[in-house]
């Protein structure tokens, strides 16, 4: 979603001074004066030239050349209406002068009167069909009218007459670019540059073609070459910023926009692109200010509305974002990206049916829009229309076979519905997604895929994602050890001490420390594929993790002695988790679970969000240890002293399950794939009981059911037998 300034078409020399003199024979002294004026005109001394033309006209008011050339000067000075009037006065003297007709077209085009300009060029060409400059300028008018095929035909006529016409080749590249024929546009611009290597406009148009061919480094070089020739080339500075944004060089993109704005502060596109760079730097409020400046200058700048909406979406101001998307759609209804991003905003606020409509409009405009197919699939998945979702994912990677997000989303969908075998296969695409590529490890040792005999070899198994993932899949280390391998397990530092008791593991390395020798390696979340895990073969025996006896005793002493059940609570996970808004619950809401429950409650949260701190401090009935829980060994030992854990989908839920502690897990309507669908229990954790949202996607019903179950649980417990 980036605003690009339109390529500046390069017209022929606007004044048309060569050949602009009439073929008549004026009085010799007037001819000498006009020749003197023409020399000054060509030297750029416009005021002096205009003065001479006026002197001639004072003597001979109907002197064609002076009337015509004075009109050219008006155009060059930006006085386009006067230029048209002046040249028409000249044409009244000589109606069939093709140079005046051509220059009248140029001035009319500058006024936006493109159809009138086209008529003027056509009249010139009817009189002189071999007039290459008029064919070029006719093409420019057609290009401005978005009649790109006709514009190309006009440029081709100019090139037939003048094969070395660099301007026609460059502008032909602009028309091809507008048609989406980026490779052809690049070839046309390269032909122009072969004729004139220092042609800044052709370098700009070449950069635009390269940008849309996603050859960003080459595009950047082309813009930089244009700027070396013309340092104040605003469009090159602006489009350079777009490419730098695509390369995620946001600081440099911002600098390029600022350079453009230092030259022209009212350049709306530069303000819009500056907003894009600031958005990339997560400086969202500043980005909004830049978009607002752009829109104050050009309220009809559709992409600025669309990109402003994207920033509002990042700030989770969805209603305002949707209003901006709607403005963008009203201004530019056929831009597929705007409909796509509007669908993303609607998806984020769970308005799934409306999101489907927006994605559908995007796909009607661009049927092979792979990103829209994937995100529509995700929306269908949230509506439990899984077959349709899978069809969209498959269609997306049929269009783009290497589209990792399509494969990865298919993996998550298949795992969620229990098709584990095919899910694990597609899950390997995660390494090529933006979400997971940073977790990829590039070891010299080969990846273990399960086909090698590993007896007697050392295998490094390494964590790759969150704490909960590591806890869930570390169980496979024991299975790998059973094949005769020596297992080295690398995990996040807060898990290292707990993992040292994992059966079959010879050595545990905290992530970031030096690794010992190993022969093969495998990421933890690839192990289910290695072991061909299906629903009926999930290694679900628990416990596979164990709390330290010493720490368990320590935490027993920290807890008050009681004769009531001790129940652990975890209501929120990592705030930066992409699905945190669906899985975490505000403490004030979560506490309805324990209403009227005769038990002792223990917080298992190490960190408490600012919004929950005041609520927790008012509750004297919840024991909270906070940062005294130094790592997961402490948390495991504390859980070992509890009777039950009630948690949302966080690492605490996984830890309780791995310890074989009874754990009740609160889940959103469409949960993370590992909790599957429509079941109260989990094959991964036999002691888990799952409480799911219904189709209303609200927590109130879940919390009411957990509260009822908790009071029943407490009534069913004997009054003795709790940890002393």
Q: Find, among 595, 643, 603, the residue nearest to 626 by Cα.
A: 603
| CA-CA-CA-CA dihedral for 294, 296, 301, 306, to nearest 10 | 70
Instruction: Let me know whether 26 and 158 are in one domain.
Output: yes
Identify whether residues 514 and 533 lie together within a single domain: yes
Residues 435 and 474 in one domain: no
Q: By C-alpha distance, which of 233, 274, 268 is closest to 252?
A: 274
Q: What is the pTM of this model?
A: 0.83
Q: What SS3 class is residue 663?
A: strand
Closest by Cα among 340, 316, 315 to 325: 340
CA 31 – CA 38 distance, rounded (Å): 10
For residues 199 and 221, what is the distance between their CA atoms, to the nearest angstrom? Answer: 14
Last residue of a domain, one of 116, 133, 163: 163
End-to-end CA separation in angstroms for the chain: 62
| Count of helices and strands (H, E) across the chain | 35, 10
Q: Report pLDDT for 153.
A: 97
Residue 319 is assigned to a structural domain of this protein: no
Q: Show the domain range for 416.
A: 344-440
> What are the φ/ψ torsions at residue 167 (nearest 5 degrees)?
-60, -40
On whether both 93 and 122 belong to a single domain, the answer is: yes
b (16+ CB within 10 A) / e for 251-278: ebbbbbbebbbeeeeebbbbbbbbbbbb
Which phi and psi (to 5°) does residue 460 adopt?
Answer: -90, 120
| Domain C-terminal end among 137, 163, 189 | 163
Phi, psi of 629 (to 5 degrees): -80, 90
- Residue 42 counted as domain residue: yes
Q: How far apart are CA 65 and CA 73, in angstroms?
A: 12
* Domain end position, chosen among 401, 423, 440: 440
- How many of the other CB atoms lie within 10 Å of CB of 284? 18
In the block, which residue shows the tokens 């290009």?
143
Give dist(CA 658, CA 674) in Å, integer.
Answer: 14
Q: In whole angstroms, what is the distance from residue 565 CA to residue 551 CA?
A: 20
pLDDT for position 580: 76
Q: How far apart are CA 224 and CA 490, in angstroms?
A: 46
d(CA 186, CA 225): 15
Which residues pair with residue 522 across a beta bridge? Answer: 461
| Spatial contact of 4 and 208, defined as CB atoms under 8 Å apart | yes
Tell me the CA distances in angstroms from 632 to 143, 157, 497, 499, 623, one per residue in order: 66, 76, 8, 9, 18
Kindly report, residue by residue over 44-77, the tens digit of the pLDDT: 999 999 999 999 999 999 999 999 999 999 999 9
Counting as low any pLDDT under 70, the low residues of the chain are: 1-28, 717-724
Residue 408, domain CATH: 1.25.40.10
Angstrom CA distances, 292 to 4, 133, 200, 311, 656, stand at 17, 41, 31, 12, 50
| Judgement on whether residues 74 and 114 belong to the same structural domain of the protein | yes
Q: How far apart are CA 321 and CA 347, in angstroms?
A: 13
User: For 131-249, where are the alpha helices, taking DSSP H only?
Assistant: 132-144, 148-161, 166-178, 182-195, 200-212, 216-229, 234-246
Asked whether residue 494 is domain-assigned, the answer is yes
In a domain, 516, yes or no: yes
| Residue 222 near residue 177, CB atoms below 8 Å | no
pLDDT digits (tens, 9 = 90+) for 125-151: 999 999 999 999 999 999 999 999 999
C-alpha span between 553 and 561 (Å, rounded)? 13
**Tokens 């009085």 -> residue:** 27
Predicted pLDDT at 573: 85
Q: Are residues 99 and 153 in the same domain?
A: yes
Residues 524 and 570 in one domain: no
Question: Does residue 111 share a domain with residue 142?
Answer: yes
507, β-bridge pairs? 488
Q: What are phi and psi of 622, to 5 degrees?
A: -120, 120
Q: Which three-class secondary structure state does DSSP give residue 566?
A: strand
CA-CA distance, 641 to 556, in Å (whole number)?
6
Q: Report whether the peptide linkage leading into residue 543 is cis, meaning its omega lies within 30 degrees of zero.
A: yes
Task: Tell me the three-class secondary structure of 303-322, residue by residue.
Answer: HHHHHHHHHHHHCCCHHHHH
Are β-strands 644-648 and 663-667 bridged in parallel, bridged antiparallel, or unpaired?
A: parallel
The tally of domains found in the chain comes to 4
What pLDDT sits at residue 302?
Answer: 96
Q: Which pLDDT does position 22 carry in this prediction?
A: 39
What Å distances lie between residue 263 and 225, 232, 260, CA to CA?
Answer: 19, 7, 5
* Residue 688 located in a structural domain: yes
CATH of the domain at 680: 3.40.50.2000
* Residues 434 and 446 reside in one and the same domain: no
Please, are residues 691 and 667 in contact by the beta-carbon 8 Å criterion?
yes
Asked whether residue 448 falls in the same domain as residue 430, the answer is no
**Residue 213: inside a domain, yes or no?**
no
| CA-CA-CA-CA torsion sign (642, 643, 647, 651) | positive
**CATH assignment at residue 530:** 3.40.50
Q: Based on the domain organization, do 515 and 436 belong to the same domain?
A: no
- CB-based contacts of 361-364 (< 8 A; 24+ apart in sequence): 361/336, 362/336, 362/337, 363/336
16 and 138 in a single domain? The answer is yes
Assess if residue 273 is contained within a domain.
Answer: no
Residue 483 inside a domain? The answer is yes
Dihedral sign, Cα of residue 302, residue 305, residue 311, residue 317: negative
Can you list the alpha helix ranges (DSSP code H) found in 569-648? 580-583, 587-590, 610-617, 632-640
Sheet containing strand 663-667, strands side by side: 622-624, 600-603, 566-570, 644-648, 663-667, 688-692
Burial class (CB in 10 A: 0-12, 13-18, 19+), 225: buried
Q: How far from chain centre, in Å, is Cα 692? A: 32
């Amino acid at each position: 979603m980036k605003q690009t300034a339109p390529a500046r078409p390069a017209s022929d020399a606007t004044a048309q001074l060569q050949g602009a003199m009439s073929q008549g024979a004026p009085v010799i002294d007037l001819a000498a004066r006009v020749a003197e004026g023409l020399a000054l005109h060509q030297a750029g001394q416009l005021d002096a030239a205009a003065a001479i033309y006026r002197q001639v006209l004072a003597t001979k008011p109907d002197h064609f050349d002076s009337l015509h050339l004075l009109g050219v000067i008006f155009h060059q000075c930006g006085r386009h209406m006067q230029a048209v009037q002046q040249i028409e006065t000249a044409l009244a003297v000589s109606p069939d002068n093709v140079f005046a007709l051509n220059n009248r077209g140029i001035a009319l085009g500058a006024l936006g009167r493109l159809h009138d300009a086209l008529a003027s060029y056509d009249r010139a060409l009817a009189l002189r069909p071999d007039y290459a400059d008029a064919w070029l300028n006719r093409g420019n008018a057609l290009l401005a009218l978005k009649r790109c095929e006709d514009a190309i035909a006009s440029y081709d006529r100019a090139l037939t007459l003048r094969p070395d016409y660099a301007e026609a080749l460059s502008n032909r590249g602009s028309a091809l670019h507008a048609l989406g024929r980026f490779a052809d546009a690049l070839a046309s611009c390269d032909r122009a540059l072969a004729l004139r290597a220092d042609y800044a406009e052709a370098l700009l148009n070449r950069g635009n073609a390269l940008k849309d061919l996603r050859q960003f480094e080459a595009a950047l070089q082309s813009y930089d070459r244009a700027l070396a020739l013309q340092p104040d080339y605003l469009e090159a500075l602006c489009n350079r910023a777009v490419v730098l944004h695509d390369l995620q060089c946001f600081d440099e993109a911002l600098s390029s926009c600022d350079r453009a704005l230092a030259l022209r502060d009212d350049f709306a596109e530069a303000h819009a692109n500056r907003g894009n760079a600031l958005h990339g730097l997560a400086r969202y409020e500043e980005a909004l200010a830049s978009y607002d400046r752009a829109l104050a200058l050009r309220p009809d700048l559709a992409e600025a509305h669309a990109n402003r909406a994207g920033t509002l979406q990042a700030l989770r101001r969805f209603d305002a974002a949707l209003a901006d998307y709607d403005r963008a759609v009203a201004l530019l209804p056929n831009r597929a990206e705007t409909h796509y991003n509007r669908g993303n905003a609607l998806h984020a606020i769970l308005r799934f049916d409306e999101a489907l409509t927006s994605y559908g409009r995007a796909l009607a405009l661009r049927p092979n829009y792979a990103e829209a197919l994937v995100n529509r699939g995700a929306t269908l998945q949230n509506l439990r229309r899984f077959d349709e979702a899978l069809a969209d994912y498959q269609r997306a990677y049929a269009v783009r076979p290497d589209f990792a997000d399509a494969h990865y989303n298919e993996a998550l969908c298949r795992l969620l519905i229990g098709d584990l075998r095919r899910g694990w296969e597609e899950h390997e695409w995660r390494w090529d997604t933006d979400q997971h590529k940073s977790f990829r490890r590039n070891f010299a040792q080969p990846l273990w895929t399960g086909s090698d005999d590993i007896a007697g070899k050392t295998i490094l198994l390494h964590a790759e994602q969150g704490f909960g993932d590591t806890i869930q899949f570390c169980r496979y280390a024991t299975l790998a050890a059973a094949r005769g391998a020596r297992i080295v397990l690398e995990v996040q530092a807060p898990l290292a001490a707990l993992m040292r008791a994992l059966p079959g593991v010879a050595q545990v390395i905290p992530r970031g420390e030096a690794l010992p020798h190993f022969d093969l390696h495998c990421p933890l979340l690839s192990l289910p594929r290695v072991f061909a895990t299906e629903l009926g073969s999930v290694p679900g025996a628990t416990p596979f993790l164990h709390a330290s006896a010493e720490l368990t005793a320590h935490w027993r002493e920290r807890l008050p002695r009681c004769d009531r059940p001790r129940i652990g609570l975890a209501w929120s996970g990592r705030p930066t988790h992409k699905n945190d808004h669906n899985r975490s619950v505000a403490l004030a809401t979560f506490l309805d679970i324990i209403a009227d429950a005769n038990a002792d409650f223990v917080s298992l949260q190490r960190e408490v969000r600012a919004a929950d701190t005041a609520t927790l401090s008012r509750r004297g009935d919840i024991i909270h240890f906070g940062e005294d829980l130094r790592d997961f060994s402490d948390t495991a030992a504390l859980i070992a002293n509890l009777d039950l854990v009630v948690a949302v989908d966080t690492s605490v839920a996984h830890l309780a399950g791995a310890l074989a502690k009874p754990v009740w897990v609160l889940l959103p309507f469409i949960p993370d794939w590992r909790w599957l669908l429509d079941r109260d229990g989990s094959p991964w954790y036999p002691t888990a009981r799952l409480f799911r949202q219904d189709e209303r996607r609200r927590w109130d019903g879940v919390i009411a059911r957990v509260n009822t179950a908790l009071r029943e649980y407490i009534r069913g417990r004997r009054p003795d037998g709790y940890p002393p």
